[in-house]
Amino acid sequence: MAGEEIIGGLKNALERGESLDSAKITFINAGYKKEDVEEAAKQIDANATRKALKEVAKEETKNKKGNHLENAKVETVSLEKPLPTINVKPKKKIKFITKFLIGLAVIIFLLILNIIRDMMDIKLF
């Protein structure tokens, strides 16, 4: 059985886009036994073939299921409630408070002015 190190290295080389033959030559040049490298390459090739066959089978199964559903009537149901409408009106309470505070400020200002005026009229002697 080929070493896991060789299998891992060959897979890594394939993932980087290198060809299997080129990766095999690199391992042989690095000092690994030719027989071990060839055995690892065969295992990778066999695994790739099995994986490809599984993918094809999955696609075929998916397509068969999809064909049965083409003729079926599909209904979509929305589980979300419609959003309530919000009427934005100016708030009367805020307008009332604003007017009240402005009026109170004016009255206080007039009282302060009256107090200052009275103080100016006072004679000290």
Q: Are residues 46 and 104 in the same domain?
A: no
Inter-residue contact 68 to 34 (CB < 8 Å): no
Is 79 contained in some domain?
Answer: no
Of 70, 99, 114, the position where a domain reaches its end is 70
Is 84 contained in some domain?
Answer: no
Is 18 contained in some domain?
Answer: yes
Count how many domains the chain has. Answer: 2
Is 82 contained in some domain?
Answer: no
Predicted confidence band of residue 1 (pLDDT cuts 50, 70, 90): very low
**Considering the entire predicted model, what is its pTM?**
0.42
Is 36 contained in some domain?
Answer: yes
Model pLDDT, residue 29:
93
Model pLDDT, residue 51:
76
Domain that holds residue 104: 89-125
pLDDT over 90 percentage in the chain: 19
Q: Per-residue pLDDT tens for 48-103?
A: 777 767 777 778 777 766 555 555 565 665 666 666 677 666 666 778 888 999 99
